[in-house]
A = this chain, B = another copy of it.
Amino acid sequence: MKNFTWWNPTIVIFGEGTIPQIADQLAVSGVKSVLLVYGGKAVFKNGVYTQVTEALTKKGIEFPELGGVKPNPTIDKVREGVARVKASMVDAVLAVGGGSVFDTAKAIAAGAFYDGDAWDFFEGKAQELNRALPVFGVLTASATASEVNNITVVSNPQKASKTSFVSPFLYPRVSIIDPSAQFSLPEDQTVNGGIDVMIHIMERIFDGAADVELMDEMGYALIRSMMKIIPELRENPENYAARAQYAWAASLGHDGSLSCGRGERGDFSSHKLGHSLSLLFNTPHGASLSVMMPAWARYLYTERPAPFARFADAVFGVGAGGEEDMAIEGIERLEGFFRSVGAPTTLRELGVKEADIDKLAQNAAQFAPFGVLKSLDADDITEIYKLAY
């Protein structure tokens, strides 16, 4: 078990009917004006926009608005937000939406006191960030855990790059999670988000770290829970207990706690391979992962069977057999679970053609070498996309 520092300052207010509390939280923090960041129509349909703005108005808090954040959010929207906060002198940024909105709000908050272009941070200049606007949020779609972590993931289409930026200044001050606000999410978003949650955990338990059985066990527990919850929500999207546990599992799965003792934050090769799919084919994040994680695992399991075999036993009860046999059975069962909830497991299903593989591999290889269980070079990356096809 490796040394680590654990700290997570975000205050989470969780439960039905909690949304109006965001205005109280802003008020006690002395915020008089906040940039309200949101996405598309969902926040109007589910009533969250009305709940938030009524609460803000009641407290006398001004809220210039920045709508139109899209899934796989782009640096252009961040730049638009940075220009707005520099011009309007708001005291904070308020995300009202899902992970894309939170990621955008965090990047805007980082850019607020920075003279250069906000994309600089995503190109490795995070050390230049020594101050950011405080971020508050009301979550309407659980998956990325952006509401409780210090990460923002943004795309730059001009540079054909989708990447992350991590800084202690990016933890939201307060995040409100009302699971009932997620009742109206479309089924595919619930499934994709749930897969994202499962794979955040797998990126850690498959990293090959030693002497972290305790954290692995916590991870298996979360994955088994998600595998019960996702089908329950396909059955009844307004099952509050399932929505609530889904939401909290999403937060716990990627708030950083499962990385304690692992030395790295996780492997995250599947995420990186998936980012190129999202960028070039606009594939939903979760769908990119249900395709790439099994392909990555199939590429590696003969060389490094142990973590996959333990996973197969803990999650699917594959208790007997050699390590390699157990490992591949676990991978196959995982693919079977993904298919059972309607998620894709091949590039073909995403509309990717065999001729596109080189383009994908080139895009992902710009970040190579990457990976913890195995460091992947450009050839490895090509082979994994082929396996995914």
Judged by a CB distance under 8 angstroms, whether A11 is at the interface is yes
* A225 interfacial contact with B, CB 8 Å: yes
Number of copies: 2
Chain B residue, CB-CB nearest to A175: B6
- A interface: dominant SS: mixed
Interface residues of A in 233-275 (CB under 8 A from B): 240-241, 244-245, 248-249, 252, 260-261
Is the pair B1, A12 in contact by a Cβ cutoff of 8 Å?
no
The stretch from A40-48, A57-65, A212-220, A381-389 touching chain B is: A212-220
Q: Determine whether A366 belongs to the interface, using a CB cutoff of 8 Å to chain B.
A: no
CB of A359 within 8 Å of the partner chain: no
Partner of A213, one of B14, B220, B245: B245
Asked if A127 is at the interface (CB within 8 A of a chain B CB), the reply is no
A221–B217 contact, CB under 8 A? yes
A244 CA / B211 CA spacing, docked (Å) = 9
Whether B14 pairs with A7 at a CB distance below 8 angstroms is no
CB distance from A320 to the nearest CB of B (A): 16
Interface centre among A3, A7, A210, A212 (most CB of B within 10 A): A3
Check if A88 is an interface residue, CB within 8 A of chain B.
no
Give Cα A214 to B249, complex, Å: 7
Taking the closest CB of chain B, its distance from the CB of A358, in whole angstroms, is 42
Range class of the A interface residue count: 35 or more
- Cβ contacts under 8 Å, A252 to chain B: 218
Q: Are B221 and A1 in contact (CB under 8 A)?
A: no
A225 contact set on B, CB distance < 8 A: 213-214, 217
Knowing A1-B244, A1-B245, A260-B248, the reply to whether A217 touches B211 (Cβ < 8 A) is no
Most buried by B among A6, A16, A240, A260: A6
A240 to chain B minimum Cβ distance, whole angstroms, is 7
Closest to A210 in B: B241
A124 within 8 A of B: no
> Which residues does chain B contribute within 8 Å of A229, judged by CB atoms?
214
Q: Is the CB of A222 within 8 A of B211?
A: no
Measured CB to CB, the nearest residue on chain B to A224 is B217
A306 → B minimal CB distance (Å): 16
Q: Which residues of B contact A241 (CB under 8 A)?
A: 1, 210-211
Residues of B contacting A2 in the complex (Cβ-Cβ under 8 angstroms): 15
Interface membership of A18, Cβ < 8 A: yes
Instruction: Let me know if A336 is at the binding interface, CB within 8 A.
Output: no
Q: Is there an interface contact between A218 and B213, defined as CB atoms closer than 8 Å?
A: no
A281 at the interface (CB under 8 A from B): no
The one of B8, B18, B210, B213 in contact with A3, judged by C-beta atoms closer than 8 angstroms, is B18
Report whether A7 and B3 are in contact in the complex, using a CB–CB cutoff of 8 Å: no
Q: Which of A298-322 contact B (CB under 8 A)?
A: none
Which chain A residues (1-25) contact chain B, with CB distance < 8 Å? Answer: 1-18
Do A12 and B18 have beta carbons less than 8 Å apart?
no
Could you tell me if A5 and B11 are in contact, using CB atoms closer than 8 angstroms? yes
Which A positions have Cβ atoms within 8 angstroms of B?
1-18, 210-214, 217-218, 220-222, 224-225, 228-229, 240-241, 244-245, 248-249, 252, 260-261
Given contacts A1-B244, A217-B221, 7 further A-B contacts (CB under 8 A): A1-B240, A6-B12, A6-B14, A7-B12, A211-B241, A214-B245, A214-B248
A-B contact pairs, 27 of them (CB 8 A): A1-B240, A1-B241, A1-B244, A1-B248, A5-B11, A5-B12, A5-B13, A6-B12, A6-B14, A7-B9, A8-B8, A9-B9, A211-B240, A211-B244, A211-B245, A213-B228, A214-B222, A214-B225, A214-B229, A214-B248, A214-B249, A217-B222, A218-B252, A220-B221, A245-B261, A248-B260, A248-B261
